[in-house]
Chains A and B, each alone.
Chain A
Amino acid sequence: MAKILLAEDEEVLRMLVVDTLEDEGHDIDEACDGEEALEMIKQNDYDLILLDYMMPIYTGLEVIQQVRNMPDKKHVKIMMLSAKSQQADQQRVLEAGADYFMAKPYSPLELVQRIEAILHGEDA
C-alpha cells in the first residue's frame, strides 16, 4: 500500500483515478488545484504524486518547480498527467523535474500498471 496524492481539477477524472487506485489498495489524497496540492505535499510524505497539467492557481508545471525547491522533497516521485501530449510539452515537464509522464486520455488500467511498476522500482 502506498500513499499517493492526486491533484486534478476535473472531478470526474479524480473519481476515475481515485476509484481505480483505491481498488488496488492505495491510500489516495485529492487536491483540486495547484495551491491545494502544494499545501498537501508540504504536510505529507507521499510515495507518488500525480499532477494534472492544467490546474487553477498553479499549473502542474509550477507545482513541480516549487516541490523540487523544497529541500526534503527533492526525490519524491512525480508523475505528470497531461492533455498536452506533444513531444515539446513532455520534454518541458521532464526538464522541470517530473519523473514520469502520461498523456490524456489515459487508460486507468495502464495507469495502475505504471504506478505499480514505479512503486516497485521497476519503471526507470
Chain B
Amino acid sequence: MEKMRKYFRKSLARQFVVLVASFLVVFVIGATSLFVYQSSLTTSFEQKKNQIETKMKYAQEMERAFNQAFSDARGYLAFNRKEFKLSIFRQQENAQAAIDALELVATTKDDMQFVAKARQFASYYFGDLVPQAIEAFENGNIQKVLSLSENGGTASIEQFQFQMKTYKNKLSEQLDLEFQQLRDAQTTAQTAFILFIAVILAILITIARIMMTKIGRPLNELAKVAEKIANDQQVVYDELEATNREDEIGKLASAFKKMLTSIQEKEESLMAHNEELLAQQDELEVQQAELEQALEMMQAREKELKRHNDFIHGLSSSLDKQEVLKSIVFNMARVMEADRGMIVLMNDEQTHASFGLSESGVEQFLTYIYNGLHQRLFEQKKPFMLKRELTPSEKGYHQETMFVHDVFLPVLSNTNDVQAILVFSRFSGPFSDEEIQEYVGLTKQISISLQKIALYEQSEQARETVQHILNTVQEGIHFVDRDGHSVMVNKQMVALLQKETIAELEGASYEQWARGLVEQSDAGKKLCDYLQAIIFNGDEEHEPFVYHLPQKRKVMQVYAKPLYRNGERQGTVFVHRDITKQFEVDQMKSEFVSTVSHELRTPLSSVLGFTELMLTKELKPERQKKYLTTIYQEAKRLTALINDFLDVQRMESGKQTYDKKYEDIVSIIESVIETQKVNTKIHQFHLQKETDKTTVLGDRDKLAQVFTNLISNAIKYSPEGGNITVRIYERGNRLCVDVQDEGLGIPEEALPNLFTKFYRVDNSDRRRIGGTGLGLAIVKEIVKAHEGEVSVTSELKKGSTFTVSLPLVALASTEEEERDNNEKYAHAHVIIVEDDEHLAALLEAELKDSGFRVKHVKEGKEAIALIEKEKPDAVVLDIMLEEHDASGWDVLKALKQNDQLSNIPIIISSALEEREKGMALGATSYLVKPYQPSQLSKMILQMLLNKERQGEIFIPMPKEEAE
C-alpha cells in the first residue's frame, strides 16, 4: 500500500489518471443505477397496465356475451325466432371463454371474486333460467315465463350487470392508480438525477482543486521566482516547496533551480566578458578612426594612381612619337593640374607637343631652347620651379596682380643625358616638393617610354632596311614560320605570289599564300608537296626544286634553308631564283654540244666514208677524183668549223685578243670582196663609199672576218645570184657598213635568233646551203669587241641587209694625225701599279717609248697616296698585289670613291679573268695577261682621245710646264 502511494506520488500524470478513473467509475455507477431504476419503473408500469387492460378486455367480452345473450333471450321470447335461441347458446360459449380467460389473468382478490360470481351467474342463467324459460315458452306457459322473470330472473340479471360494471370501474380505477404510482416514482427518479449531477459536479470541482494545488501553485511559485530573477532580485531557492516533491513538478523545480544556479554563474562570467568587450569596443573605435583616416589617404592615392594610370596608358597606347608626346603633355597637365605645358625632345628635329600654348609661343620656345630659363636643366639635371607675375597678355580680363608657377622638368635618359624637357605652368598655386617628386617619378616613365619609341623606331628602321635589302635582291625571298604562316617577303616574292603589296602577305596562312604560286606553276602538285614537306615536316636538306611559270615564260628554282634561333627551328627561308637565263643557257649548252657533235660528225662521216670506199673499192679515176675533192672540201669545212667554233668560244669567254690599230675600213672591205669574188660567177659586187671618214680603231684580221662572213653569207643565200652591195656611210658619230644581197631573205620570226650560235633558218632552201651556223655569231662577237653593233633587215625572197656600225675615229684618221696625237699625249702621266718587277719594267719601257711619263708603284696603299698626290692621266692597275691590305680592287674602289680621282681612266691589267667585275667597279678597260705591251700603250692613247672628245677636262701641258 505504501508502495502504491509512493508510485503515485512520483507522477502527477498517474495521480491525474487515478482521479479521473475514480470519477468515471462513480459517474458510470450512478448513471447506470438511475437508468436501471427508471427503466424498471416504466417496465413494471407497462406490465400492470397491460394486465389491467387485458382484464378489461375479457370483462368487456364477457359483458358483451352476456348482454347479447340477454337480448337474444328476449328476442326469442318475444319473436320466437329460432336463430335467437341458437345465438343464446353461442353466447354462452363466448361468455364461458371470457370467464376462463379472465380467470387466467386474475391476480387480485377482486378478480377472483368477480370470476366466481360470473361463473355462478353463468351457470344460473344458462343452466337454469334460460332453459326453463324456453321450455316454458315452448310449452306456451307464458305464465311460468313471466313468473320466472318476476321470481328473480330479471333481478339477478340486473345484479350481475351491476357487478360487471363495478368490476370494470374497479379495473379502470386500478389503472389510474398505477399510473399515479408511476408518476410519483418518476418524480423521485428525477430528483435523484439532479442530486446525482450535483454530486458529480462536486467531485469535479474537488478534482480541479486538487490539481490546482498540486500543479498551479508550484508553477506559480516558479513563475514568481523566475520573475524575481528577471528583475534581478535575490532569491532563496530553498523557498521552493516543490523541490521536495518527487513528481514532475519536483523535477521541473529542481531543473529550474539548477538552471537558475547556472544562469547566475554564467551571468557572472558574462559580466566579466562584457567589461572586456567594452574595453575592446573603445579600442575599436580608436582603430576605426585611424582606418577612416587611412581610407581618405587611400582615396587620394587612388585618384593619383588613376591619373598616373591614364598617364601611363597614354604612354603605352601608341608607338607613334608625336601621339605619345601629345598624350604626355595632356596627361601630365592633368596630373599637375597645370594650365599649359610643353614637351620638347632634345633630338635634331626638336620633336615637341604642347598644351594650352599658342603656335608662336611654341615657336619662341624652340628658337631659344638652348638659352632660355631652362638652361639650368642641362647643367643640374634636376627640376626647378619659378614663381612670376603674369604679364598683361597672360592675364586676360583680370586687373589685379596675378602669379604663375612654372615648373621645369628634365627627362633623363639611361645615360643621364637630358633627352627631353618638360615645362608646365599653373595659375592656381605653387608646386609642393611632394608634387615635384611625383613628377620626377613620372619623368622616369616618360624616359622609358621615349626609349621604347626610340627602340621601336630603330627596329622599324632596321626592319625597313632589311626589307629594302631584301627587295634589292633579285631572288624572291620568303620566310615562313613552322605553321606555314608568311612572316617576311620581299617585293619579288610578292609578285611571284601574285599579290599587290607586301602587307597583303603579312601573316597569310599557307593556303592563302601558296595558292597564287601553285596555280601558275606547271608543277603545282609537286611544288605543293615540296613546300609542305619542308614547312610542315621540317625536312632539313632538300635539293632545290625547279618549276616553270608558263604564263610568265620563266623558269624558277626554289631552295629552302631552315632558320634556327637558340637551336630551335623558327621556320624556313625559301629563295625563289629566276633561272630562266641559266636554264636557257643550260639548254643551249646541251643543244650546243649536241649540235657541235652533229656538225662535226657530218663532215667526218663524209671523210671517213669516202676514204673507206676508196680504200676498199676499185673505182674509176673520175669517181676517185670526185671523192677526193669531196674529202678535201669536207676536211676544209671541218677545219673551218673547228676554227669558227674556237673563235666563238674565245670571243664569248673574252679571251680573244684584238690587235687594234687605226685602219681604213674601205681597204679591208675591198680585199674581202676581192677574195670572195673568186667563189662566184653569178654575183655582181658593188662598193659604195659615201664618206671620207672611214678610219676605225680595230683589228684588221677580225674586221676582215666580219665582212668575209657577211659577204660569203650574201653569196650563199642568194643562190640565184644578183647584186651584192656594200655601202659605207656615216651616221651620227658612227661609221656604218651595209652588206645587201638579193637572195632568199630571212623569215621575220628568225630575225631575233639570227646571231645565235648554230642557229639556222629552218627552211629547206637555205638548208641546202652549207655552213657552220657560227658565222653571224662570230660577226656579232667581233663587232661587239669593237664597241660596234650589227643589225639586219630582210624581206623574204627579196634579200637581206646586214648593217655593221663602228665608232668613228675621225681624229686619228691619218697617219699624220696619229703622230700628232702621239705627240700631244706624249707627256701624259701614267702610273703603273704592279707588283711584278719584270712586267712593270717591260710596260714602263713600252709606255716611255710611246712618249708617256711613267711612274711605278708596287703596293696598293702607296699607289692610292701617289695617285692622290699626282693625279695622273691614267692608271694601269694590277689586281693581285703583294700587300694584302689593299688589292687592286681596293685601289679601284678607293679611286672611284674619291670625287677628284674618279675621272682618271683605269686600265686593269690582270691574270684574273674578271672583266665584268672590273668594268662594274668603274675600270675603263680590262687587259688579261699576257698581252702585248704595245696593246697597252695604244689603249691608253685611244682612251685619252676618247676622253677629250667627250669633253672631259684633260690638261697634260700645264703640268708639264709646272715641272
A residues in contact (CB < 8 Å) with B: 9-13, 15-16, 19-20, 23, 32-33, 35-36, 53-57, 83-84, 104-109
The A contact surface, by secondary structure, is loop
A-B contact pairs, 25 of them (CB 8 A): A9-B767, A10-B606, A11-B768, A12-B603, A12-B606, A13-B602, A13-B609, A15-B630, A16-B605, A23-B617, A32-B764, A53-B598, A56-B762, A56-B763, A83-B602, A84-B598, A104-B598, A105-B601, A105-B604, A105-B605, A106-B605, A107-B608, A107-B609, A107-B612, A109-B613
**Please, which residues of chain A bring their CB within 8 A of the CB of B634?**
12
- A83→B601 contact, CB < 8 A: yes
Distance between Cα atoms of A25 and B633 in the complex (Å): 28
Contact (A36, B764) CB under 8 Å given A12-B630, A12-B634, A108-B613: yes
**Please, which residues of chain A bring their CB within 8 A of the CB of B601?**
83, 104-105
Q: Write the nearest CB–CB distance from A35 to chain B, whole angstroms.
A: 7
Q: Does B318 contact A (CB under 8 A)?
A: no
Q: Does B281 contact A (CB under 8 A)?
A: no
**Please, which residues of chain A bring their CB within 8 A of the CB of B900?**
none
Q: Write the nearest CB–CB distance from B719 to chain A, whole angstroms.
A: 13
Contact (A33, B767) CB under 8 Å given A16-B610, A23-B617, A54-B598: yes
Q: Which of A36, A105, A106 has most B Cβ within 10 Å?
A: A105
**Please, which residues of chain B bring their CB within 8 A of the CB of A16?**
605-606, 609-610, 613
- A33→B764 contact, CB < 8 A: yes
**Please, which residues of chain B bring their CB within 8 A of the CB of A84?**
594, 597-598
- B613→A10 contact, CB < 8 A: no
Contact (A20, B764) CB under 8 Å given A54-B598, A83-B601, A84-B597: no
Q: Does B347 contact A (CB under 8 A)?
A: no
Interface residues of B in 606-621 (CB under 8 A from A): 606-610, 612-613, 616-617
- B605→A57 contact, CB < 8 A: no
Contact of B768 among A19, A32, A54, A83 (CB under 8 A): A32
Distance between Cα atoms of A83 and B604 in the complex (Å): 10
- A108→B609 contact, CB < 8 A: yes
Contact of B602 among A23, A35, A36, A104 (CB under 8 A): A104
- B768→A9 contact, CB < 8 A: yes
New contact pairs (4) apart from A16-B606, A56-B766, A107-B608, CB-CB < 8 Å:
A13-B609, A32-B767, A83-B605, A84-B594
Distance between Cα atoms of A102 and B771 in the complex (Å): 24
Interface residues of B in 323-382 (CB under 8 A from A): none
Distance between Cα atoms of A53 and B598 in the complex (Å): 10
Q: Write the nearest CB–CB distance from A15 to chain B, whole angstroms.
A: 7
Q: Which 10 A-B pairs have the closest CB atoms?
A: A105-B605, A83-B601, A56-B767, A83-B598, A16-B609, A12-B606, A104-B601, A33-B764, A105-B604, A108-B609
Distance between Cα atoms of A53 and B595 in the complex (Å): 12
**Please, which residues of chain A bring their CB within 8 A of the CB of B613?**
16, 19-20, 108-109
Distance between Cα atoms of A11 and B610 in the complex (Å): 13
Interface residues of B in 578-628 (CB under 8 A from A): 594, 597-598, 601-610, 612-613, 616-617, 623
**Closest B residue, CB atoms, query A15:** B630
**Please, which residues of chain B bring their CB within 8 A of the CB of A19?**
613, 623
Q: Write the nearest CB–CB distance from B136 to chain A, whole angstroms.
A: 187
- A109→B602 contact, CB < 8 A: no
**Please, which residues of chain B bring their CB within 8 A of the CB of A105?**
601, 604-605, 607-609
- B606→A109 contact, CB < 8 A: no
**Closest A residue, CB atoms, query B606:** A12
Q: Write the nearest CB–CB distance from A34 to chain B, whole angstroms.
A: 9
**Closest B residue, CB atoms, query A35:** B764
**Please, which residues of chain B bring their CB within 8 A of the CB of A54?**
598
**Please, which residues of chain A bring their CB within 8 A of the CB of B616?**
109
Q: Write the nearest CB–CB distance from A62 to chain B, whole angstroms.
A: 12
Contact of A57 among B594, B597, B630, B764 (CB under 8 A): B764
Distance between Cα atoms of A17 and B795 in the complex (Å): 37
Distance between Cα atoms of A108 and B598 in the complex (Å): 18
Distance between Cα atoms of A10 and B630 in the complex (Å): 12
Q: Write the nearest CB–CB distance from A19 to chain B, whole angstroms.
A: 7
Distance between Cα atoms of A105 and B633 in the complex (Å): 17
- A13→B606 contact, CB < 8 A: yes
**Please, which residues of chain A bring their CB within 8 A of the CB of B598?**
53-54, 83-84, 104
Distance between Cα atoms of A82 and B767 in the complex (Å): 17
Q: Which of A10, A55, A84 has most B Cβ within 10 Å?
A: A10
**Please, which residues of chain A bring their CB within 8 A of the CB of B623?**
19
Distance between Cα atoms of A10 and B637 in the complex (Å): 13
Distance between Cα atoms of A20 and B623 in the complex (Å): 12
Distance between Cα atoms of A52 and B601 in the complex (Å): 12
**Please, which residues of chain A bring their CB within 8 A of the CB of B597?**
83-84
Contact of B764 among A12, A56, A107, A109 (CB under 8 A): A56
- B764→A104 contact, CB < 8 A: no
**Closest A residue, CB atoms, query B623:** A19
Q: Write the nearest CB–CB distance from B589 to chain A, whole angstroms.
A: 15
- Cβ proximity bits B758-796 to A, threshold 8 Å, 1 near / 0 not: 000011101110100000000000000000000000000
Q: Write the nearest CB–CB distance from B610 to chain A, whole angstroms.
A: 6
Contact of B609 among A35, A36, A106 (CB under 8 A): A106
**Please, which residues of chain A bring their CB within 8 A of the CB of B630?**
12, 15
**Please, which residues of chain B bring their CB within 8 A of the CB of A57?**
762, 764
Distance between Cα atoms of A109 and B613 in the complex (Å): 8
- A109→B612 contact, CB < 8 A: yes
Distance between Cα atoms of A105 and B602 in the complex (Å): 7
**Please, which residues of chain B bring their CB within 8 A of the CB of A23?**
617
**Please, which residues of chain A bring their CB within 8 A of the CB of B610?**
16
Distance between Cα atoms of A11 and B605 in the complex (Å): 12
**Please, which residues of chain A bring their CB within 8 A of the CB of B763?**
56
- A10→B602 contact, CB < 8 A: yes
Q: Write the nearest CB–CB distance from B850 to chain A, whole angstroms.
A: 52
Distance between Cα atoms of A62 and B623 in the complex (Å): 35
Q: Write the nearest CB–CB distance from A108 to chain B, whole angstroms.
A: 5
- Cβ proximity bits B479-514 to A, threshold 8 Å, 1 near / 0 not: 000000000000000000000000000000000000
Q: Write the nearest CB–CB distance from B325 to chain A, whole angstroms.
A: 73
**Closest B residue, CB atoms, query A10:** B602
Distance between Cα atoms of A10 and B605 in the complex (Å): 10
**Please, which residues of chain B bring their CB within 8 A of the CB of A10?**
602, 606, 770
**Please, which residues of chain A bring their CB within 8 A of the CB of B617?**
23
Distance between Cα atoms of A20 and B616 in the complex (Å): 11
Q: Write the nearest CB–CB distance from A74 to chain B, whole angstroms.
A: 27
**Closest A residue, CB atoms, query B595:** A54
Distance between Cα atoms of A55 and B630 in the complex (Å): 21
Distance between Cα atoms of A104 and B608 in the complex (Å): 10
Distance between Cα atoms of A92 and B699 in the complex (Å): 47
Distance between Cα atoms of A66 and B613 in the complex (Å): 34
**Closest B residue, CB atoms, query A107:** B612
Q: Write the nearest CB–CB distance from B181 to chain A, whole angstroms.
A: 161
**Closest B residue, CB atoms, query A33:** B764
**Please, which residues of chain B bring their CB within 8 A of the CB of A35?**
764
Q: Write the nearest CB–CB distance from B338 to chain A, whole angstroms.
A: 88
- A13→B762 contact, CB < 8 A: no
